[in-house]
């Protein structure tokens, strides 16, 4: 029987390898192999029909060495503690690689939001917030949206926390609606960060963006924004997909029209354009394109698919879309991959901007936010590329080396209490 994939073990494997490349003594990073705090809570909810349901909730804080913990909350029926631990650790590395003063955290509730009413989701969110309230706060741990959560869920969390405190605390979460302290540019930030990363990569390779084709797997917030912005930059987007289907058009898709359709119908299935054909998810991942942007779920590029990938460049919009075995195959085949902890960090960067605005009680304009995001993403890319070139390692390993070096130095400077 095949052993169950454990994402936290996968994270530890990369962590140990990065430490070895840095020549980091085990003593200097051993504490980072363990989350600082793991909280498991039960979340009882009275459902619409009157019966009570108890959901399992989690909040894991991996590291606060460089600042308050930061990380999203996901609602998903298959979530478990190991997944949340891994996601929290990845947030530590993501914040460190773009050099913002946060550590990593993640939260989740094991539920199927598609089968719940808005009233049930609101009750569950408020009770979950009350259960994790002792360990969250603007100076402690700042949640944000993730899979199956959104600005409305953040509004409920912010309100619940504020009711307990007795005054409004907008900085307790990021990814909020604008009317209660959200930031301009936050919704598009992850996809915009992917676009900036693609442009930084093309600059290093001396490629003309107007002559390149791209396929984007996933057409949610990250995938759709990435596709739209890349098209605006001159790339030809020939394929996109969501959970319902994948579509291909050799001459390039009308991405804006597809986004309007999905906004209205909630799925890509049924969308039509002249010359468009429906393809499989595997066909999308193995299309003969210059650039592939996996922006859907984890473990999409497997070792079998990695052998068939024809794209020369991969920029990860999703968290963990490439398996370890696939990574090795892509490296052997000289396919350049920009890892998730760098490529999709735009969301947490603008979350940081939102938090700073809340703490200052001052709102920045969107141009200022986007320009600063561009600067942060460019600086981080340059630092990772330098390690990649100097140590002859993959960009994923280079990103982990940059991140681990920063967190380990902070840990060493602070020492072990007591």
Q: What is the mean pLDDT of residues 114-140?
A: 97
Q: Helix (H, G, I), strand (E, B), or coil: what is residue 20?
A: helix
Q: Are residues 122 and 42 in the same domain?
A: yes
For the stretch 394-411, pLDDT in tens is 999 999 999 999 999 999
State the pairing for strand pair 313-315/236-241: unpaired
Residue 3 — very low, low, confident or very high, per pLDDT cuts 50/70/90?
A: low
The answer to whether residue 155 is domain-embedded is yes
Q: What is the CATH number of the domain that holds 140?
A: 3.40.50.10860
For the stretch 203-232, pLDDT in tens is 999 999 999 999 999 998 899 999 999 999
For the stretch 49-70, pLDDT in tens is 999 999 999 999 999 999 999 9
Q: 185 — alpha (psi -120 to 50), left (phi > 0) or beta?
A: left
Q: Which of the residues 85, 106, 123, 249 is marked catalytic?
A: 106
Check if the beta carbon of residue 414 is closer than 8 Å to that of residue 65.
yes
- What CA–CA distance (Å, rounded) separates 73 from 88? 10
The answer to whether residue 27 is domain-embedded is no
Q: Give the model's pLDDT for residue 276.
A: 94
Q: Are residues 93 and 42 in the same domain?
A: yes
- Residue 320 is given by DSSP the state S
Strand order in the sheet with 141-145: 37-46, 52-61, 103-110, 69-76, 141-145
The answer to whether residue 56 is domain-embedded is yes
The answer to whether residue 294 is domain-embedded is yes
Among 300, 316, 343, the domain boundary falls at: 343
Residue 1 — very low, low, confident or very high, per pLDDT cuts 50/70/90?
A: very low
The residue whose two tokens read 């498991």 is 40
- What CA–CA distance (Å, rounded) separates 200 from 386? 13
The answer to whether residue 206 is domain-embedded is yes
**How many residues does the structure list for the chain?**
418
Q: Are residues 42 and 125 in the same domain?
A: yes
In the chain, how many H helices and how many E strands? 15, 12
Q: What is the CATH number of the domain that holds 318?
A: 3.40.50.720
Among 143, 172, 201, the domain boundary falls at: 172
The answer to whether residue 28 is domain-embedded is no
Q: Are residues 147 and 46 in the same domain?
A: yes
In the chain, % of residues over pLDDT 70: 99
Q: Are residues 167 and 220 in the same domain?
A: no
Q: Give the model's pLDDT for residue 298.
A: 80
Element (H, E) at 89: helix 81-97
Instruction: State the distance between the two ends of the chain, measured CA to CA, in whole angstroms.
Output: 45
Q: Give the model's pLDDT for residue 357.
A: 97
**Which residue segment(s) compose the domain that 235 sits in?**
189-343
pTM: 0.94
Task: Identify whether 304 is preceded by a cis peptide bond (ω within 30 of 0).
Answer: no
Q: Are residues 214 and 304 in the same domain?
A: yes
Q: Give the model's pLDDT for residue 247.
A: 96
- What CA–CA distance (Å, rounded) separates 52 from 175? 30
Picking from 151, 23, 11, the residue whose alpha carbon sits closest to that of residue 94 is 11
Residue 4 — very low, low, confident or very high, per pLDDT cuts 50/70/90?
A: low
Q: Are residues 164 and 302 in the same domain?
A: no
For the stretch 132-189, pLDDT in tens is 999 999 999 999 998 899 999 999 999 999 999 999 999 999 999 999 999 999 999 9
The answer to whether residue 362 is domain-embedded is no
For the stretch 317-369, pLDDT in tens is 998 899 888 999 999 999 999 999 999 999 999 999 999 999 999 999 999 99
Mean of per-residue pLDDT scores for the chain:
95
For the stretch 282-308, pLDDT in tens is 999 999 999 999 998 888 999 999 999
- What CA–CA distance (Å, rounded) separates 361 from 384? 34
Q: Which two tokens stand for residue 240?
A: 């996109």
Q: Are residues 166 and 195 in the same domain?
A: no
The answer to whether residue 193 is domain-embedded is yes
Q: Are residues 214 and 275 in the same domain?
A: yes
- What CA–CA distance (Å, rounded) separates 204 from 138? 38
Q: Are residues 194 and 333 in the same domain?
A: yes
Cα radius of gyration (the chain): 21
Q: Are residues 55 and 138 in the same domain?
A: yes
Catalytic annotation on 211?
no
Q: Are residues 53 and 166 in the same domain?
A: yes
User: Please, is 238 exposed, middle or buried when counting C-beta atoms within 10 Å of its C-beta (0-12, 13-18, 19+)?
Assistant: buried
Among 343, 364, 396, the domain boundary falls at: 343
Q: Helix (H, G, I), strand (E, B), or coil: what is residue 139?
A: coil
Domain count, the chain: 2
């Amino acid at each position: 029987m095949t052993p169950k994939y454990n994402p936290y073990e996968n994270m530890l494997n990369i962590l140990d390898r990065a430490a070895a490349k840095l020549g980091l003594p085990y003593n200097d990073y051993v504490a980072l192999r363990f989350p600082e705090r793991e909280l498991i809570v039960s979340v009882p909810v009275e459902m619409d029909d009157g019966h009570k349901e108890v959901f399992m909730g989690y909040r894991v804080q991996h590291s606060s060495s460089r600042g308050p913990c930061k990380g999203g909350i996901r609602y998903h029926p298959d979530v478990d503690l190991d997944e949340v631990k891994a996601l929290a650790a990845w947030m530590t590395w993501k914040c460190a690689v773009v050099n913002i003063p946060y550590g990593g955290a993640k939260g989740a509730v094991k539920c199927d939001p598609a089968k719940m009413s808005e009233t049930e989701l609101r009750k569950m969110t408020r009770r979950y917030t009350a259960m994790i309230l002792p360990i969250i706060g603007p100076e402690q741990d700042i949640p944000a949206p993730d899979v199956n959560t959104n600005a409305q869920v953040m509004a409920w969390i912010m309100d619940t926390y504020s009711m307990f405190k007795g005054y409004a605390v907008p900085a307790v979460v990021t990814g909020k609606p604008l009317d209660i302290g959200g930031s301009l540019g936050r919704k598009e930030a992850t996809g915009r960060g992917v676009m900036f990363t693609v442009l930084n990569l093309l600059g290093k390779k001396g490629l003309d963006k107007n002559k390149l084709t791209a396929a984007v797997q996933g057409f949610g917030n990250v995938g759709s924004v990435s596709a739209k912005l890349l098209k605006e930059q001159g790339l030809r987007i020939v394929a996109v997909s969501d959970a319902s289907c994948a579509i291909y058009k050799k001459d390039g898709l009308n991405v804006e029209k597809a986004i309007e359709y999905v906004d209205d119908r909630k799925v890509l299935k049924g969308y039509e354009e002249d010359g468009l054909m429906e393809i499989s998810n595997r066909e999308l991942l193995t299309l003969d394109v210059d650039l592939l942007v996996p922006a859907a779920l984890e473990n999409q590029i497997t070792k079998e698919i990695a052998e068939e990938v024809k794209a020369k460049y991969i920029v990860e919009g999703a968290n963990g879309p490439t398996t370890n075995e696939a990574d090795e195959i892509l490296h052997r085949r000289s396919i350049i991959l920009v890892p998730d902890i760098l490529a999709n960090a735009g969301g947490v960067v603008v979350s940081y901007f939102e938090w700073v605005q809340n703490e200052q009680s001052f709102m920045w304009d969107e141009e200022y936010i986007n320009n600063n995001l561009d600067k942060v993403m460019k600086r981080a890319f340059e630092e990772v590329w330098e390690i990649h070139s100097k140590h002859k390692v993959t960009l994923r390993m280079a990103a982990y080396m940059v991140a681990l070096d920063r967190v380990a130095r902070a840990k060493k400077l602070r020492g072990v209490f007591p």
